[in-house]
């Protein structure tokens, strides 16, 4: 069976649902029930005895406009492991692009970042190229960038702290850098951080990196290691926005693409296109009275 949870524009909700039902029916997906959740009033739950999630999602996308949603085969529960990307997911910026601005190279670096996040470039190659462009930049630019440019996404701290309170392990894993990820994690409440390390000499960036690269494979491996440590049958949640998040999003029980690139959204069983990160809590069915604000 399929369970879809959906947060959509309330106007014309019944009309949109009827149109979506008709399209699902043409694709062989029946609707057993559709109702607003009493404990999470903005969220509609749609139950189907069938199993074609692609048909169901296509109908939702076609008739509800911009939505936040999650499609699963079981009633959603609070996850035991939460793993998230950082840039453009937990924070509203791409750190390397903002750092590039201090070197007078933001436009050039941002173009490479965008192509990498769309899945058009090899991630490691793109990362090393961008870091190389920062050679000679003072580390004081990192501190200034953190203080003046880097801001959490709306709802990020509520999401992390609420899941922690409910017994969930929280991990920030980024293809960005510990110089940024460590303070962001401390601010938002993450318990563990995995990221890349910029090489520094004499107070300046050398244009290189220290150690291995955190790419899509490492993100997935980090999730699998956390699940192994947590025990058999553990439910997991992942959030991300780019192509390098796809293996992690696909592996998680609930992989939620946050205002994501098309490839990442298509690969996930959840998506946030409309709201902020508190929509994740609504889709999981966690009532507002239990949120940590």
C-alpha span between 196 and 123 (Å, rounded)? 13
State yes or no: is 74 an active-site residue: no
Residue labelled with tokens 């990820």: 181
Q: Which of 61, 74, 87, 202 is catalytic?
A: 87
**Both tokens of residue 43?**
């969220």
Where helices occur in 27-122 by DSSP H, the ranges are 53-64, 95-102, 106-117
Host H or E run for residue 84:
strand 81-84
Burial of 4 (0-12, 13-18, 19+ CB in 10 A): buried
**Both tokens of residue 126?**
């793109």
C-alpha span between 292 and 274 (Å, rounded)? 22
Which residues does 178 contact at the CB level (< 8 Å), separation at least 6? 193, 195, 196, 197, 198
State yes or no: is 61 an active-site residue: no
C-alpha span between 20 and 215 (Å, rounded)? 38
SS3 138: strand
Q: Which of 85, 97, 241, 245 is catalytic?
A: 85
**Both tokens of residue 79?**
């996850």
Host H or E run for residue 270:
strand 270-272
Residue labelled with tokens 């950082």: 86
Yes or no: say if 205 and 183 are a contact pair by the CB < 8 Å rule.
no
Sheet containing 169-177: which strands, arranged edge to edge?
Answer: 33-37, 40-48, 2-7, 68-72, 270-272, 254-258, 236-240, 81-84, 169-177, 192-201, 204-210
Residues known to be catalytic: 85, 87
């Amino acid at each position: 069976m399929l369970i879809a949870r959906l947060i959509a524009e309330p106007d014309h909700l019944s009309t949109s649902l009827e149109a979506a039902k008709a399209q699902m029916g043409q694709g062989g997906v029946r609707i057993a029930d559709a109702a607003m959740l009493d404990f999470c009033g903005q969220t509609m739950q749609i139950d189907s005895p069938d199993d074609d999630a692609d048909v169901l999602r296509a109908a939702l996308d076609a008739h509800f406009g911009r939505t936040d949603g999650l499609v699963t085969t079981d009633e959603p529960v609070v996850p035991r492991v939460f793993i998230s990307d950082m840039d453009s997911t937990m924070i509203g910026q791409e750190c390397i692009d903002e750092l590039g601005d201090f070197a007078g190279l933001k436009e050039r670096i941002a173009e490479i970042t965008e192509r990498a996040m769309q899945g058009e470039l090899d991630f490691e190659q793109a990362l090393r190229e961008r870091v190389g462009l920062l050679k000679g930049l003072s580390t004081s630019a990192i501190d200034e960038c953190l203080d003046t440019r880097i801001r959490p996404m709306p709802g990020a701290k509520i999401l992390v702290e609420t899941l922690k309170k409910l017994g969930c392990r929280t991990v920030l894993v980024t293809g960005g850098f510990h110089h940024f990820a460590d303070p962001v994690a401390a601010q938002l409440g993450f318990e563990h951080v995995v990221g890349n390390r910029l090489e520094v000499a004499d107070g300046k960036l050398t244009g290189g990196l220290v150690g291995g690269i955190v790419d899509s494979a490492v993100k997935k491996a980090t999730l699998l290691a956390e699940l192994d440590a947590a025990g058999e049958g553990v439910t997991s949640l992942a959030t991300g926005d780019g192509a390098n998040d796809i293996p992690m999003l696909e592996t998680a029980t609930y992989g939620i693409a946050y205002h994501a690139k098309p490839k990442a959204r298509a690969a996930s069983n959840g998506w946030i296109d409309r709201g902020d990160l508190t929509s994740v809590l609504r889709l999981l069915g966690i009532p507002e009275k239990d949120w940590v604000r």
